[in-house]
């Protein structure tokens, strides 16, 4: 099937790294892996982060114009070259879809969403325009793939058939992740570059440094680790962004060399580093899904994080990591301290983590889930 793919937050081919771009690319790969011909419909970004009504109106009007141009372009193609299904990833009130509903409706093809979210309390807020557009798009969708179970409660009242809400577990391409290689021998060159003792316990945190959830998680992480007894461990922080100075200041009270800032790393280098660490630590303040935690587990590294609907679908408390109440620095510190004292349990959790990813979160399973729904939709029926 020919699928027009669109991500209003950030296109899969956007030059800037982000979790949103990463998931978009994974979805394209999973759809392609199921045998579909996926084409990026547009790189148009619809997000307004300021709540500026006039800016939202300009984005809406630009989207309407682009939808008309897409339809003219598709109209010049033979029927066997036109899209047969429209697939939009990550739609919500700040980033509505001004393209897909119009194009899919005019072409008479199924309109499908992945990771759509709806916040009823925003109906009369500064994003009311986008909120209304998101509501209409969700109601028009033939199927909605939910990566975060926490979104389902607010989506349910907008659809006329609960079968339209389809669970899709977050996923990775496990083959791209090296298995964990702990110990001084595996860390040799890396330990030298980071100026870290290869024989100590390595913790790792990976996240962009920006305002909001990420900043708050970094500050809580610094608070929590300051409470951990003993100092025979090191923290490697991977990430960069506009609040880096504030993040570094939060860790300034630790002994020299206790916390190392590795900056932003490309995918291969990041995966290699994480696979040589002992424990992934991230509070996950208001984190919706937690792809970095899933990736750590793919390499067999256990996780300590805050409990949330999407996170609990990834991290199995007591089996692949520890889940603690969100925002509780004391509980987070206790969980980290317990695993620092028990290397055998850490290793067992890491082994179970990689197996859990293989069984439940690999891209092959995602391809099957997607295709099970999309194939029948093309034929105008439900699976």
Max CA pair span of the chain? 69
Helix (H) or strand (E) holding 225: helix 213-225
pLDDT grade for 18, boundaries at 50, 70 and 90: confident
Helix (H) or strand (E) holding 37: strand 37-42
For residue range 221-238, what is the model confidence (pLDDT) as tens digits?
999 999 998 878 999 999
- How far apart, in Å, are the Cα atoms of 343 and each of 187, 288, 306? 17, 29, 21
Q: Taking residues 266-273, what's their average pLDDT?
A: 92
How far does CA 139 lie from the centroid of its chain?
24
pLDDT at 382 over 70: no
pLDDT grade for 215, boundaries at 50, 70 and 90: very high
Q: Phi and psi at residue 157, in whole multiples of 5°?
A: -65, -15
Q: Taking residues 244-259, what's their average pLDDT?
A: 96
Residue 204 gets which letter from DSSP? E
The pLDDT assigned to 43 comes to 95
pLDDT grade for 184, boundaries at 50, 70 and 90: low
Which percentage of the chain shows pLDDT scores above 90?
84
For residue range 157-170, what is the model confidence (pLDDT) as tens digits?
999 999 999 999 99
Give the Cβ contact number of residue 207 at 10 Å: 23
Report the C-alpha gap between 16 and 219 in whole angstroms. Answer: 24
* pTM passes above 0.85: yes
pLDDT at 9 over 60: yes
For residue range 324-348, what is the model confidence (pLDDT) as tens digits?
999 999 999 999 999 999 999 999 9
pLDDT at 351 over 70: yes
pLDDT at 56 over 60: yes
The pLDDT assigned to 377 comes to 85
Report the C-alpha gap between 42 and 12 in whole angstroms. Answer: 10
Q: How many residues make up the chain in this entry?
A: 383
For residue range 283-321, what is the model confidence (pLDDT) as tens digits?
999 888 889 999 999 999 999 999 988 888 899 999 999
pLDDT at 381 over 70: no
Q: Phi and psi at residue 188, in whole multiples of 5°?
A: -40, -70
Q: Which residue is associated with the tokens 């729904």? A: 373
Report the C-alpha gap between 12 and 90 in whole angstroms. Answer: 12
Instruction: Set out the domains of the chain in order of their start, with CATH numbers.
Output: 2-171+362-378 (3.40.50.2000), 174-360 (3.40.50.2000)
Give the Cβ contact number of residue 183 at 10 Å: 12
Structure tokens given for 147? 């990566």
Q: Taking residues 131-154, what's their average pLDDT?
A: 94
Taking a C-beta distance cutoff of 8 angstroms, is the pair 180, 187 a contact? no
The pLDDT assigned to 383 comes to 53
Q: Taking residues 121-128, what's their average pLDDT?
A: 93
Taking a C-beta distance cutoff of 8 angstroms, is the pair 195, 260 a contact? yes
For residue range 24-43, what is the model confidence (pLDDT) as tens digits?
999 999 999 999 999 999 99
Q: Phi and psi at residue 277, in whole multiples of 5°?
A: -100, 165
Angle between helix 329-340 and helix 213-225 axes, rounded to 10 deg: 60
Q: Taking residues 108-115, what's their average pLDDT?
A: 96
């Amino acid at each position: 099937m020919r699928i027009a793919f669109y991500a209003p937050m950030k296109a899969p081919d956007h030059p800037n790294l982000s979790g949103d771009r990463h998931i978009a690319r994974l979805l394209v790969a999973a759809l392609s892996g199921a045998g579909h011909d996926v084409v990026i419909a547009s790189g148009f970004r619809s997000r307004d982060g300021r709540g500026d009504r006039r800016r939202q109106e300009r984005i809406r009007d630009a989207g309407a114009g682009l939808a008309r141009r897409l339809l003219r372009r598709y109209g010049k193609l033979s029927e066997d070259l036109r899209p047969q299904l429209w697939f939009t990833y990550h739609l919500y009130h700040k980033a509505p879809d001004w393209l897909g509903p119009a194009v899919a409706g005019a072409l008479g093809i199924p309109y499908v969403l992945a990771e759509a979210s709806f916040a009823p309390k925003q109906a009369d807020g500064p994003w009311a325009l986008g909120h209304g557009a998101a509501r209409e798009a969700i109601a028009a969708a033939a199927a909605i793939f939910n990566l975060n179970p926490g979104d389902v409660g607010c989506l349910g009242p907008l659809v006329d058939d609960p079968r339209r809400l389809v669970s899709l577990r977050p996923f990775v391409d496990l083959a791209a992740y090296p298995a964990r290689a702990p110990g001084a021998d595996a860390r040799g060159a890396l330990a030298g570059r980071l100026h870290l003792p290869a024989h100590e316990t390595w913790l790792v945190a990976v996240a962009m440094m920006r305002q909001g959830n990420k900043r708050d998680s970094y500050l809580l992480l610094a608070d929590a680790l300051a409470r951990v007894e003993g100092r025979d461990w090191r923290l490697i922080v991977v990430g960069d962004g506009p609040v880096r100075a504030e993040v570094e200041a939060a860790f300034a009270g630790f002994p020299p060399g206790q916390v190392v800032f590795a900056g932003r790393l490309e995918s291969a280098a990041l995966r290699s580093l994480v696979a040589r660490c002992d424990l992934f630590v991230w509070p996950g303040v208001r984190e919706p899904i937690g792809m970095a935690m899933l990736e750590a587990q793919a390499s067999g590294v256990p996780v300590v994080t805050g409990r949330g609907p999407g996170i609990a679908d990834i991290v199995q408390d007591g089996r692949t990591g520890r889940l603690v109440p969100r925002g509780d620095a004391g509980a987070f510190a206790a969980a980290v301290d317990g695993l620092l004292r028990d290397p055998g349990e850490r290793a067992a959790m890491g082994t179970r983590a990689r197996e859990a990813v293989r069984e439940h979160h690999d891209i092959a399973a995602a391809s099957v889930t997607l295709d099970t729904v999309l194939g029948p939709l093309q034929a105008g029926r439900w699976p």
